[in-house]
Structure 1
């Protein structure tokens, strides 16, 4: 393999000749073989890094710190990164020591080497365009890296919310389809009062729809960036006008309402926005998991369980029990939820671990959030496509359980009173009798009044009291 020799603070190394990354990226690859998930797994993050470098080059050019020629090739190299042409040149592990320096230098080196090519030079001829002197000009990892993270998270949130909206609509469609299916509602796994299966699925739609606002609200916190803070927020090695200019260019390049933090020393170690957004992901995961628990319960059986709904059959369920089919799609969503909850705890610990003027734990923090977003996105797509849209209702099973339930005695409370209704329920349970038969036998109500009160359809919404 052909190589080129590069040097850094620690000495010289041979870098693959065709690589756009350089020596600092190579050291990171050798040092951090940790989770196996590379920067290249998250194109939106690489795009955000390129946007930061492009905006910085334009700001430095306006300040007279970067020539027109260098600015032009740096911006062009950044645009080529955005096109996806160089994603494979970002091999650094997402979890790394150094507070993201390896990630920042990976971007600096790739853009520098592509810029060199555009000017007619060979990769590694950094005297003409240097990763630190030119691409990283007026920046530090401590402002460029978190700014890129935030841009990536805003853009990824947009994608995640679209998937969530589609899932909500699939539940809403089932709510309409099942609007006529009477079933028994349950509390604490015990019979409660009747409802419709449509009401149940519409409630799931509303429950998840709430999370769209929560995700978008928390993603807005990422709009605040600390560009120009450089190392610790004092702005050393940047000019006074740099922050304002680079933020303006970021707004134009990203089409996002990016704003500069009011206090850069405060903003540089602050990870509060990540904590808030991760908590919104956890909240969504918990809701999804609860819904999937319900789907597994309602489909339990089919002969010896509730058997109220049928989930699409996706694969044989056992290596030993013929005919068994398991609810594998809700199960996998449950497992994704557990992982998201665990990632949120990691984010919590990483945010707490910040010390003095910097939080060096941002790599594991961003890895955890991006993983949660990626897994939730895929899980919700799978849940919609392979489960929700194919659910069918066992209408007769649902209705029979309502009519056989002691829970319908609740409908008699306003007419007979709690004590009499409670006694009816107790006797019906003890003697395995129906509430209906006992009421008529005891002459508590006429058949006409009883039939009116115990219509399942009457018990699924508020009604005027019927007096005895």
Structure 2
């Protein structure tokens, strides 16, 4: 058997590997776009979404009598296999490409077509029987297929990110419960402030993540609006008037995602606002995670010449020259993910702004940046939860000793001894190194029993109850 087959396009004929499911249009893309070394097949959510869009289109065309049952069934079967994970290695074009995603759409058309041909008992490349453009791409354009698939894929990716964020939130919440009775000093502007519990400190991280889970859910709702059926610019040229709503209906059934048809397909074909919104929330998630990780690094700093309030689990030797050194490598990697996501947000913003007239040609870089942000954030959340937060321990005795010796206790006594007396006590404590409770008793500012009540952990870390 021949190792090649000959295919043709408007530019001429080219040999294509006989074993390949892709064809000449994909070959052109391979020659043109050697950019990142990362293929669209490495984004399984996108390939799954593309297959579902093509299946929905085939079923809608069959319902309308535009596509015969045999061809529609073969396309549907091939799409189901691909959505299930098959043939992703055949999606070989670079994720960053010119043409507004045309090469991605062509790659999908060819792989689906050639697999469907096999299911029909024909050979790959027998396009007289089933054609990648005339049949697989019927009633479609890259300009409605690609953005619809991107939106659907984003919905899939966000589900995984939300699951990872929930895992991290629960890890922080578990530590907050464990540390609920560990008294420590809070800080403002890196200076000693007033007492709090380590549990309260860790609770804030859990609450922060929970808030961002809600914001992410709100952002993804905007992504549910799709322009499938718009074809080239949103006018729906080359489609039956019933096709768009029917195709979206099938896509909802296939994917299980509550997609809706955009009210104005011309506007929806050019507008990238939903991706800007989603990316902005991803940046918000990244900033908060980075802040939490910077806190963990600071709280664990030392151990002898830093804060040394908590211990992060040792995950690797920290130095090739300093024996015994252990570094906060897990928070550091999450910091770096956050920096990347912030940069991706700027890329998405510029790409969305650069769209011209009826189409945005820069959706491939939006896709690449979005999926990097979502997949890396999800991985970062999981490694932070499993390889760091779960193993954190508190230096309880050191924390208690610092609270006892802190001039910040004077602030807690303001309601009892007044601001001026509290200032005098704090100044004396800082100047002599003596403890605030000792000075308060010596100055006869409070009775011992009242002082003990004022310095209880419940009194120090919550509003007073009268």
- The TM-score range, normalised by the shorter chain, is over 0.9
Question: 1:444 and 2:458 equivalent?
Answer: no
* Separation (CA, whole Å) in 1 of partners of 2:48 and 2:444: 77
Matches of residues 252-331 of structure 1 in structure 2 within 5 Å? 252-331=253-332
Q: Deviations over 1:205-260 (max 9, x none)?
A: 11111111111111111111111110001111111111111011111111121111
Q: Deviations over 1:27-66 (max 9, x none)?
A: 1111111111111111111011010111101111111111
Runs in 1 of length 4+ with deviation above 3 angstroms? Answer: none
Query: Corresponding residue for 1:350?
Result: 351
User: Does the CA contact (< 8 Å) of 1:402 and 1:456 recur in 2?
Assistant: no
* Separation (CA, whole Å) in 1 of partners of 2:379 and 2:258: 28
* Separation (CA, whole Å) in 2 of partners of 1:90 and 1:32: 14
Aligned Cα root-mean-square deviation (Å) = 1.2
* Separation (CA, whole Å) in 1 of partners of 2:369 and 2:411: 48
**Once the 2 structures are TM-superposed, how far is the Cα of residue 432 of structure 1 from its aligned partner?**
2.8
* Separation (CA, whole Å) in 1 of partners of 2:42 and 2:352: 23
Q: Which runs of 5+ in 2 are unaligned?
A: none
Question: 1:99 and 2:100 equivalent?
Answer: yes
Judge which range, 172-181 or 446-455, deviates more. Answer: 446-455
Question: 1:69 and 2:99 equivalent?
Answer: no
Query: Corresponding residue for 1:127?
Result: 128
* Separation (CA, whole Å) in 2 of partners of 1:404 and 1:431: 11
* Separation (CA, whole Å) in 1 of partners of 2:4 and 2:420: 89
User: Does the CA contact (< 8 Å) of 2:405 and 2:434 recur in 1?
Assistant: no
**Once the 2 structures are TM-superposed, how far is the Cα of residue 6 of structure 1 from its aligned partner?**
0.7
2:176 counterpart SS class: helix
Question: 1:113 and 2:114 equivalent?
Answer: yes
1:268 counterpart SS class: helix
**Once the 2 structures are TM-superposed, how far is the Cα of residue 464 of structure 1 from its aligned partner?**
4.3
**Once the 2 structures are TM-superposed, how far is the Cα of residue 143 of structure 1 from its aligned partner?**
0.2
2:237 counterpart SS class: coil
**Once the 2 structures are TM-superposed, how far is the Cα of residue 437 of structure 1 from its aligned partner?**
2.5
* Separation (CA, whole Å) in 1 of partners of 2:464 and 2:217: 38
Matches of residues 150-299 of structure 1 in structure 2 within 5 Å? 150-299=151-300
**Once the 2 structures are TM-superposed, how far is the Cα of residue 444 of structure 1 from its aligned partner?**
1.8
TM-score (norm 1): 0.97
TM-score (norm 2): 0.98
1:18 counterpart SS class: coil
Matches of residues 22-33 of structure 1 in structure 2 within 5 Å? 22-33=23-34
1:410 counterpart SS class: helix
Q: Which runs of 5+ in 1 are unaligned?
A: none
Q: Deviations over 1:362-409 (max 9, x none)?
A: 000010000011101111111111101111111001111111111111
Question: 1:409 and 2:421 equivalent?
Answer: no
* Separation (CA, whole Å) in 1 of partners of 2:420 and 2:291: 35
* Separation (CA, whole Å) in 1 of partners of 2:419 and 2:106: 73
* Separation (CA, whole Å) in 2 of partners of 1:271 and 1:419: 59
Query: Corresponding residue for 2:425?
Result: 424
